[in-house]
A = this chain, B = another copy of it.
């Protein structure tokens, strides 16, 4: 280990410079660093927290959705995911989004943790979940903007899709590997 213990910054001033609530808020902050320097234009970008779900059907295949994502500008494979509604807990959002986007429900759920999307700007927290024993209980009924196809994929197919650039979102890649992969022996 090298270097002294890292110390937090102090926020001296914070003001909203752009707002499109409830989806987006940009703040400009004045922060004081531990060494005494002051930075007057550090930004914070706020999105709603959201949940991402890796759900395995009873045959072990994973419930994926193929959809257009405007942040990517292309159609790709991803996991069911969505923002927390007001008053909703992350696991409630996960169950709702899985059902809305894919028509699947699952009894067994475990948390894979909560992670920040961007180390500098924030950009919301992602709550990651792994569900097993998922089964189709209804037709998808997403009220979102995107057209979607539900696709069941085996672990081998997912590994190939990740390697082949078919899964364009970092969040989906992280949840698939945290849920289904294990440390390789060195």
Q: Which residues of A contact B (CB under 8 A)?
A: 1-9, 17-18, 20, 23-24, 26, 28, 31, 33-35, 37, 39, 41-45, 47, 60, 66-75, 78, 81, 103, 113-123, 126, 139-140, 145-151, 155-156, 158-159, 162-163, 165, 167-171, 173-174, 177-178, 180-184, 186
Instruction: Select A169's contact among B75, B115, B165, beta carbons within 8 Å.
Output: B115
**Residue on B with the closest CB to A182?**
B184
Given A1-B151, A20-B43, A117-B123, 20 extra CB contacts under 8 A = A2-B103, A2-B139, A2-B149, A5-B147, A7-B147, A9-B68, A9-B70, A24-B26, A24-B43, A33-B145, A37-B145, A47-B121, A60-B186, A70-B119, A113-B163, A155-B184, A170-B171, A170-B174, A177-B177, A180-B183
**Contact at A162–B149, with CB atoms within 8 Å?**
no
Question: Given known contacts A60-B186, A174-B173, is B43 in contact with A3 (CB within 8 Å)?
Answer: no
**Contact at B8–A75, with CB atoms within 8 Å?**
yes
For this complex, 9 residue pairs linking A to B, each with C-beta atoms less than 8 Å apart, are A1-B151, A6-B146, A20-B28, A31-B70, A37-B145, A71-B116, A78-B119, A119-B168, A170-B170
B residues less than 8 Å from A5 (CB atoms):
75, 147, 149
Tell me the number of copies of this protein: 2
Question: Given known contacts A113-B165, A126-B170, is B3 in contact with A147 (CB within 8 Å)?
Answer: yes
Instruction: Select A170's contact among B2, B117, B121, beta carbons within 8 Å.
Output: B117
Instruction: Select A70's contact among B26, B120, B186, beta carbons within 8 Å.
Output: B120
